[in-house]
Amino acid sequence: MHVAVIGAGLAGVCSAFELASAGHQVTVVERHAGVAAEGSFANGGLLAGAYTAAWQAPGLPTRLLAPVQSGGWGWQALRPSVWSPWWRQRQHRRSPRQAASRAALLALSRLSRARLDELTLRWSLAREQAEGLLVLLRTERELAQLRAGLDWLAEQGVAHHCVDAEGARAIEPGLSTEPGLHAALHFPGDAAANSRQFVHQLKTEAQALGVRWLFQHEVTGLAGAHGGGPLQLSLAGSREPVPPARAGAPVPLLSVDAVVLCAAQGAPALLQSLGVRLPAVVHSACSFTAPLRLEDGLLDLTPRAAILDQRQQISIARQGDRVRVAGGVRPGVQLGRPPAADMRRLYRVLDDWFPGAAHTSRSLEWCGPRLAVTDGLPLIGPSGVPGVWLNTAHGASGWTLACGAAQQLAAQISQQPAPVDPAPFALERLR
């Protein structure tokens, strides 16, 4: 089967690879000149399956989404309560369906991690991985708010320890306790790793399997989906400059048997053109990456692995000899230059916990969008339109879930048994 994948971020590249591995002919269409150019460009790098399943999903309250569906944002989107740990704690007490969703998300993140490790080992891929996630808690109240999630993780057999400030410093010797560290949760099975490095290498492996890349092409429409025949993708040269050899040349329609939408913030418009409405929201977050101060002869007091400031929801992750700090959520699409106020918060958090650990005057700053749907789980599976499939809306967990989501999707398209229960990820659940 000839499958077109729309979008070459983490979801698109991983999907293309898995589909080609399953024997399909694959063409990836991407409006930018290379892979990982939008939401996947410089994410926080956390592979945080346990944390994501316990506290991040179901994530977004529906009242947040109403203004988006009607075309704009209301101020309620900015109310801190909706992003707070309190909200997540509350979610734990809700319906059995949400418990099933959390279990499915944990299963997907485990699948993802296993596949990521397998691929990394197979080709000795570099991804600057550092093992372990430490969640920093400033008060007993913050710890109490996570209690229900911790009990649930224990039931699921997820290794974790609660340590005091001294125990946290044994794991991260450079950690300052000055900001007032009450306790920390350590998840040895979670990690930090460089998704951009991985996705570039996976692209090369996918190409070796025959995947074709159509960069600088934007999909502007999909046709034929209801007729049963091949699907037609109309393409346009994208906003980036077209190379001189191709300028002015007619861009053909792409005719395929199936389409996978991995277009993140581009997905709602494409689906709408097919009559499918996505209850989705786009928000943006930012990051900076700075070289660590690794001076010969001095004790290394830089971050060792992944750290999350629970109150600020800002992550600190080691990536080789650099640190990546990420967080700060704003509604809407922001790509590239981050808001100065958000960056100040990120710098402050790094400086609070690891004072002087990085050359922040040499940091690279970035802001990127992420798409999420009402319940915070990704969309993986059929769209309801014949031949059109989804692997999108990964929200704040797209790196954690990328490899597993792609395997799940490839199995479903190939009519093989899905590795994880597909129901919690199906578009149907939102109807």
Ligand X SMILES: Cc1cc2nc3c(=O)[nH]c(=O)nc-3n(C[C@H](O)[C@H](O)[C@H](O)COP(=O)(O)OP(=O)(O)OC[C@H]3O[C@@H](n4cnc5c(N)ncnc54)[C@H](O)[C@@H]3O)c2cc1C
Residues that bind ligand X (CB under 6 A): 6-12, 29-32, 37-40, 43-46, 218-219, 262-264, 266, 270, 285-287, 315, 326, 368, 370, 392, 394-400
d(CA 260, CA 25): 13
Nearer to ligand X, 65 or 165 (CB): 65
Nearer to ligand X, 153 or 314 (CB): 314
SS3 content of the chain, % helix, strand, coil (to 5): 35, 25, 35
- Rounded to a whole number of angstroms, the minimum distance from the CB of residue 164 to ligand X is 26
d(CA 324, CA 182): 24
What is the H or E stretch that residue 148 is in?
A: helix 140-155
- Rounded to a whole number of angstroms, the minimum distance from the CB of residue 382 to ligand X is 18
Q: Is 291 helix (H, G, I), strand (E, B) or coil?
A: strand
- Rounded to a whole number of angstroms, the minimum distance from the CB of residue 162 to ligand X is 22
DSSP 8-class letter at 14 = H
- Rounded to a whole number of angstroms, the minimum distance from the CB of residue 95 to ligand X is 25
- Rounded to a whole number of angstroms, the minimum distance from the CB of residue 361 to ligand X is 21
Per-residue 3-state assignment (H helix, E strand, C coil) for 191-239 = EECCHHHHHHHHHHHHHHCCCEEEECEEEEEEECCCCCCCEEEEEEECC
Q: How many CB atoms lie within 10 A of CB 245?
A: 7
Distances 82 to 77, 94, 102, 367 between C-alpha atoms, Å:
8, 16, 19, 21
Which ranges of 312-365 does DSSP label H, i.e. alpha helix? 340-353
- Rounded to a whole number of angstroms, the minimum distance from the CB of residue 296 to ligand X is 30
Nearer to ligand X, 2 or 169 (CB): 2
d(CA 389, CA 408): 12
Nearer to ligand X, 5 or 301 (CB): 5
- Rounded to a whole number of angstroms, the minimum distance from the CB of residue 364 to ligand X is 13
- Rounded to a whole number of angstroms, the minimum distance from the CB of residue 206 to ligand X is 14
Nearer to ligand X, 184 or 326 (CB): 326
The pair phi, psi for residue 397, each rounded to 5°, is -130, 20
Measured in residues, the chain has a length of 431
- Rounded to a whole number of angstroms, the minimum distance from the CB of residue 154 to ligand X is 23
Contacts of 335 (CB under 8 A, 6+ apart): 38, 284, 367, 368, 369
The pair phi, psi for residue 221, each rounded to 5°, is -170, 160
- Rounded to a whole number of angstroms, the minimum distance from the CB of residue 57 to ligand X is 12
Distances 260 to 34, 138, 143, 201, 407 between C-alpha atoms, Å:
18, 43, 41, 21, 13
Nearer to ligand X, 160 or 415 (CB): 160
Nearer to ligand X, 175 or 271 (CB): 271
Nearer to ligand X, 139 or 238 (CB): 238
Nearer to ligand X, 9 or 424 (CB): 9
d(CA 423, CA 217): 33
Nearer to ligand X, 172 or 218 (CB): 218
